[in-house]
Amino acid sequence: MAAGYYLPNQDAFATARGNAFVATADSAAAVYYNPAGMTQLENPQMQAGVYAIVLGNETNAGGPTTEAKNELQAAPHIYYARPYNDRLSYGFGMNSPFGLGTDWGRDTPFSPVVTEARLLFASATAAMAYKVTDELSIGASVSLNYADLTLEQGLGVSGSYLRFSGDDFGVSGSFGVRWQPHEQHAFGLICATGSSFDLSGKTTTNMLVPDSSSELDFMTPVRIAGGYSYRPAPGWNIEANVEWLDWNALNSLTLHSDTIGGSTRIPFDWKSSFIYELGVSYTTPEGYIFAAGYDLNKNSQPDANFSPGIADADRHWFNLGFGRKGDDYTWMLAYQFGYSNRTVDGATGTNALANGRYEARHSALIFSWQQSF
């Protein structure tokens, strides 16, 4: 995980380009990346795919080297977009823009901080776009979101745990703009609201304390992304994006549960962060697609309240992609490698058990198939 629990990889072509796609947004994936881009479509398009990642997290917090459980985690996506007339377009999508999880086990030296953190997140989106002029388009979307969160920590005894699991629905929206004053130059901007949840579920423990129904507030941040696309020659596209995530709004969460004797505050106090994205793609006259990209996800998790459950850091992602564009179809396969090294020495209170060095080595594949009608 990087940039908090944000998961930006929602299309193989965009991922291969380091997710620099806000100004391009010329496929059904525009439903997510920038709905204003849907006005570029001349025919209906449907796209489906999946992002699959193996997280490799390791730390020496507490002395011995500890590795998180290696497991394959997947996030699917599906989009449909079509023009209604010469000016108006609409689309739908289902994806998972937040999520993943980390399982360290219950016998680490830092188990009282966290043993496992896992977020299942699904979003269903409806979007519309309008071509104001031949150069300028605007778009908007509304999403119904489902969040299922699991948090677990040890209780100071080997193998002990206190586990919360809960879920809820929330709503979010976005507004996008795309301006292409020249065939070689395009600009894009999207502003997406956050979503609030009151997670209802259960708190369980193996320490002879009765289970109880519980509630936990939760959120996803406001996101703003802007980009510039340059097409220097036929088939070539170079784009640079900057994304901002308002993690500063994540101050603390409150857990209400009889298992813990009432309510307790879970401090986060994160800071807002940026993602810098750069990508290039080339489509040959025969329809073969080559793409490469780099993105830097800046850390949003200060030392003071650092949790290995997220283990955020300044993380580098290197991306490569290959695909094929036919008369009425396009497929794309991308590989992504991410790494970071971080030393945490300022965590306080119980979180001080998590002080140490953290290394991440992540590998992911994403595949998308797009069909035109």
Residue 335 lies in a domain: yes
HEC assignment per residue over the chain: CCCCCECCCCCHHHHHCCCCCCCCCCCCCHHHHCHHHHHHCCCCEEEEEEEEEECCEEECCCCCCEECCCCEEEEEEEEEEEECCCCEEEEEEEECCECEEEECCCCCCCCCCCCEEEEEEEEEEEEEEEECCCCEEEEEEEEEEEEEEEEEECCCCCCCCEEEEEEEEEEEEEEEEEEEEECCEEEEEEEECCEEEEEEEEEEECCCCCCEEEEEEEEECCEEEEEEEECCCCCEEEEEEEEEECHHHCCEEEEEEHHHCEEEEEECCCCCEEEEEEEEEEECCCCEEEEEEEEEECCCCCHHHCCCCCCCCCEEEEEEEEEEECCCEEEEEEEEEEEEEEEECCCCHHHHHHCEEEEEEEEEEEEEEEEEC
198/145 Cα distance (integer angstroms): 12
Q: How much of the chain, in percent, has pLDDT values that exceed 70?
A: 99
25/93 Cα distance (integer angstroms): 14
- Give long-range contacts, CB 8 A cutoff, 24+ apart: 260-266: 260/162, 260/203, 266/216
Q: Is the pLDDT of residue 2 over 70?
A: no
Residue 4 lies in a domain: no
Cβ-contact 348, 55 below 8 angstroms = no
Q: Is the pLDDT of residue 199 over 60?
A: yes
Name the residue among 70, 93, 98 with its Cα closest to residue 82: 93
Residue 71 lies in a domain: yes
Q: What is the mean pLDDT of residues 295-304?
A: 93
Residue 242 lies in a domain: yes
Q: Is the pLDDT of residue 164 over 50?
A: yes
Residue 350 has φ and ψ, to the nearest 5°, of -60, -35
Residue 266 lies in a domain: yes
Give the mean pLDDT of the chain.
Answer: 94
Q: Is the pLDDT of residue 138 over 70?
A: yes
Q: Is the pLDDT of residue 1 over 70?
A: no
Q: What is the mean pLDDT of residues 310-338?
A: 96
pLDDT band at 349 (very low <50, low <70, confident <90, very high): confident
Residue 6 lies in a domain: no
pLDDT band at 235 (very low <50, low <70, confident <90, very high): very high
| Each residue's pLDDT tens digit, 20-65 | 999 999 999 999 999 999 999 999 999 999 999 999 999 998 888 9
pLDDT (0 to 100) of residue 137:
98
The residue segments making up the domain with residue 52 are 12-372
CATH number, position 197: 2.40.160.60
Cβ-contact 11, 33 below 8 angstroms = yes
Residue 327 lies in a domain: yes
Residue 161 lies in a domain: yes
Q: What is the mean pLDDT of residues 80-84?
A: 97
pLDDT (0 to 100) of residue 254:
87
pLDDT (0 to 100) of residue 159:
82
Our count of domains for the chain comes to: 1
| Each residue's pLDDT tens digit, 255-272 | 888 877 788 888 888 999
Q: What is the mean pLDDT of residues 81-110?
A: 95
pLDDT band at 82 (very low <50, low <70, confident <90, very high): very high
Q: What is the mean pLDDT of residues 4-16?
A: 94
pLDDT (0 to 100) of residue 3:
66
